[in-house]
Structure 1
Amino acid sequence: MSAFLLGALTLLLPSGYAYGAAIFIVFAMASFPLWAKERLSDRSAVWLALVFAVMGAVWIFGADLDRGLSALNKPFRYVLALACIPVAFLYPPKGRWLLWGIAVGAAFGGLRASYDIFVLGYERAWYDAAHQSSSGVIQYGNMSGLFGLICWVQWAVFHERWSWRRSALMLACVFLGVLGSLLSQTRGGWVALVLCMVPLLWLIYRYVANHRFIYAVLGLLAVVMALLWHQSSYLQERWSLARDEVAGFVKNGEADNSVGHRLAHWKLAWDMGLEKPLTGWGEAGYAEQKRLRVEKGEAPPSVLYYGHAHNEWFDMFVKRGVIGLVGLLLFYAVPLALFWPTQARVQRPDGTIDPEALCLRLAGMLFPLAYLGFGLTQVYLAHFNGNMIYLFMVLFFMAAIRGHQRGHGGSV
């Protein structure tokens, strides 16, 4: 239930990601006597525990402790995820529930975005401009696209063993997931998903038959072409606007627009970070220094609109220095290495490729890979949904892989 709901409700309900995570946290607490004495011997579990603990400590380092207990809100979520690691590996979720939950989530993403645009008349999905109300347009738009891409991975690996109805249903989920991303206007997310396709296409080409790879690419092209035809004028307008905003910042220093204020944030964060490269300024120091530099005319007022630098790496550098950058690098690199589908990891004893193991590893790998891309234009981990989705998706996918290896994963 936790594995399915984590993906299925993320894009449908406010804080939808929390339902699946909360159910599992309650289960972990209730079953404490059953797993408390279990030794955490699985190497993947130990590595996940290490990077979760390090990243939780990173959030405490440089935090604004004058905020009181609220400063510990984010680190506390890492403590909860840490406590769930032994339970997840002792009672691993079945991979098919994770994958179908993501498929349902992708469908809800496209349907919710379409409802916002075509029924409610919003300019952007998940964003009510008339009331200046947003439920997380960039985060949800990015996640919708990521879920759609994971649906395509499922289709690419399994479509030959599925009925035509099931294959068509999964392609519809691919379409809806990517549509949700387009309607959210998250341009940085589109770039991140395109970057994910480079290793993804190579890995699928490596492990599936040539004709299946060709079908997979043709299926993806069909979805993309349909979306481009449907949204061509809209996409052209967004890219033209981005080009004009870059030119405006370069020529005149214009920072009162989407691209301009990002570039201003990046420049300021880099300059400040170089002044305290090891430890950074801390959250409170960053906010104070921004205010002082705006007053002196050293930075545009637009940098005061947000409490972060609109780039995961610049934000970590300016607030927590190289120490924070190392923690963030481990947070993404270690899970990526654990998921990476090497020949030995996806091969059965008879030498054939195990499609379930391949699909679970490719899907799990996409979370650190996509977050790396998302973080180029947005501080994804500044938001609770960004942290919780990553923590529990990475945990559930790795535990599901271990369950499948032990023969308890079932077929997808």
Structure 2
Amino acid sequence: MMRPQRGLYLGLLIFPLSPLLGGIAIVGVTAWYWWQKGRSQLQQPLTWSFGLAAFLLLLSSLQAHDPSISLLGLANFLPFMAIFLASRALIQHPQHRQHLSDVIVLSSLPVAIIGLGQQYLGWHGPIRFGWLISWELEVGGTPPGRMASVFGYANSLANFSLIAWTLAIGLTLQAWRSQQTSRVAAGLILICLNSAVLLATSSRNSWGVAVLMALIYGIILGWHWLLGVIGAIAALIFGAAFGPPPLQSPLQTLVPRAIWARLNDDLYPYRPIETLRTTQWQFAWDLSQERPLWGWGLRQFPQLYQEHTGVWLGHPHNLPLMLLSETGILATLALGLPIGWIYYQAVRHLKQQQSQPDLIALTLLLAFTATSLFHLVDVTLFDARVNILGWLLLAALDDGKSIPQYKKPEIS
């Protein structure tokens, strides 16, 4: 393994626990790459594509009602584009993709242990060690009753664990196919731990996406029994949550209340209309219609929504709508089209395989799909630990051939 990859993996391994130390390692590798290979990187169409997106995001921010706030919002995008462009060159071979998947899953182990301790053993903070570690670790989670572990909010933990859970399944299947007994056992443990975390976060988004990922695994691998099991469990849960009274009562004795009451909102019976996602989505859409080209500027949604409803919300719980309303259609397309092209090429490459699918490639594709779907009903990229995973998964999907590359001519 090359030294740059080691730095990237080491940073990624410690990033959930210490964003500062992990960030230093990842940014260090990125800076090294741009110093060594920046000139050739600038000759590649993909770099120009993201450069255009960055330029349009900057223009949108400069035209915002409060440019200073919007310019700060660029920190959630521009540095990660640079990391993506560097890491896609460092994750070129199947072994690199295997290592990346291993590291992400392994990094979820201490997060899960701390979260389970927080939720069931009374572990609490705040725990701080200078700038290196800063965990709030509130008793019972954040919000109350929902596990957050070292993350600031349950939904961020749910997205992180959803990615790790999806990868853990694929890695375990790969180990099972290769008859690596010890790795299968370790994988099963990590799947169970992340499953417990997903349940304890009470994130309906992650539950729905996890079920979909399991179904996709079952369909692709031809495991019809798995589809039957998932279907039976889903019918049991939905019957407990939404079934008619004669059927609902006995099913509710079988299904934990934390699950069915979360699905039908019995846990939170009163929800103001301003907090509903449909209300937020409609408002974001209306904003995008008023300023379709340049949007209102990054990070402007919270202030505009509070002025309109009297309720503060950090985002509209949908990434495409957030981008359309805050950055306009030009920047949204400039950012989304190259990402969509890489994804399309990754799917196409898998479909062209005649024999058994490449499980690692499939797993990385599903993990990126999972976090993308999650961002249709929530926006967790404001947590750098979730944000970086999305970009690194995208980098792993790009085999360097999805968009033609320009090479410097050799001088004889």
TM-score, reference length from structure 2 = 0.71
* Bigger helix fraction: 1
Closer/same/farther in 2, CA of residues 51 and 39 from structure 1, 3 Å limit: closer
Closer/same/farther in 2, CA of residues 52 and 363 from structure 1, 3 Å limit: farther
Contact 2:206/2:374 (8 A) holds in 1: yes
Instruction: Specify the code of the residue in structure 2 equivalent to 1:255.
Output: I
Measured in 1, the distance between the counterparts of 2:163 and 2:81 equals 26
Contact 2:88/2:398 (8 A) holds in 1: no
1:266 aligned partner:
281
Measured in 2, the distance between the counterparts of 1:3 and 1:222 equals 42
Measured in 2, the distance between the counterparts of 1:173 and 1:219 equals 21
- Write the deviation string for residues 137-176 of structure 1: whole angstroms up to 9, x where unpaired: 2112221122112111222344132243321221111111
Which runs of no fewer than 5 residues in structure 1 stay unpaired?
206-212, 294-298, 403-412
Percent of aligned pairs with the same amino acid: 14
Verify: 1:9 aligned to 2:9, yes or no: no
Contact 1:282/1:319 (8 A) holds in 2: yes
Closer/same/farther in 2, CA of residues 383 and 141 from structure 1, 3 Å limit: same
Measured in 2, the distance between the counterparts of 1:324 and 1:30 equals 28
Measured in 1, the distance between the counterparts of 2:227 and 2:111 equals 23
Q: Aligned to 1:316, what secondary structure does the other structure show?
A: helix
Which runs of no fewer than 5 residues in structure 2 stay unpaired?
1-5, 124-137, 238-251, 403-412
2:159 aligned partner:
142
Displacement after TM superposition at 1:396 (Å): 4.2
Measured in 1, the distance between the counterparts of 2:42 and 2:339 equals 21
Computed over aligned residues only, the root mean square deviation of the Cα atoms, in angstroms, reads 4.3
Measured in 1, the distance between the counterparts of 2:188 and 2:32 equals 39
1:370 aligned partner:
370
Measured in 1, the distance between the counterparts of 2:227 and 2:344 equals 25
1:178 aligned partner:
195
Verify: 1:191 aligned to 2:195, yes or no: no
- Could you tell me which of 319, 336, 341 is aligned with 2:343? 336
Measured in 2, the distance between the counterparts of 1:230 and 1:330 equals 46
1:159 aligned partner:
176
Q: Aligned to 2:182, what secondary structure does the other structure show?
A: helix
- Could you tell me which of 296, 306, 314 is aligned with 1:281? 296
Displacement after TM superposition at 1:70 (Å): 3.2
- Write the deviation string for residues 364-405 of structure 1: whole angstroms up to 9, x where unpaired: 212431232111221233443333222223224546999xxx
1:255 aligned partner:
273
Displacement after TM superposition at 1:118 (Å): 0.9
Displacement after TM superposition at 1:275 (Å): 2.5
Greater displacement, 49-58 / 317-326: 49-58
- Write the deviation string for residues 330-379 of structure 1: whole angstroms up to 9, x where unpaired: 254223223226357545xxxx54x6xx1232122124312321112212
Displacement after TM superposition at 1:288 (Å): 5.1
Measured in 1, the distance between the counterparts of 2:290 and 2:37 equals 47
Contact 1:312/1:376 (8 A) holds in 2: yes
Displacement after TM superposition at 1:222 (Å): 12
Displacement after TM superposition at 1:283 (Å): 3.7
TM-score, reference length from structure 1 = 0.71
Q: Aligned to 2:264, what secondary structure does the other structure show?
A: helix
User: What is the total number of aligned residue pairs between the two structures?
Assistant: 362
Closer/same/farther in 2, CA of residues 65 and 263 from structure 1, 3 Å limit: same
Measured in 2, the distance between the counterparts of 1:327 and 1:307 equals 24
Measured in 2, the distance between the counterparts of 1:378 and 1:329 equals 17
1:102 aligned partner:
104
Displacement after TM superposition at 1:117 (Å): 0.2
Closer/same/farther in 2, CA of residues 175 and 401 from structure 1, 3 Å limit: farther
Closer/same/farther in 2, CA of residues 92 and 195 from structure 1, 3 Å limit: closer
Measured in 1, the distance between the counterparts of 2:92 and 2:368 equals 24
2:326 aligned partner:
319
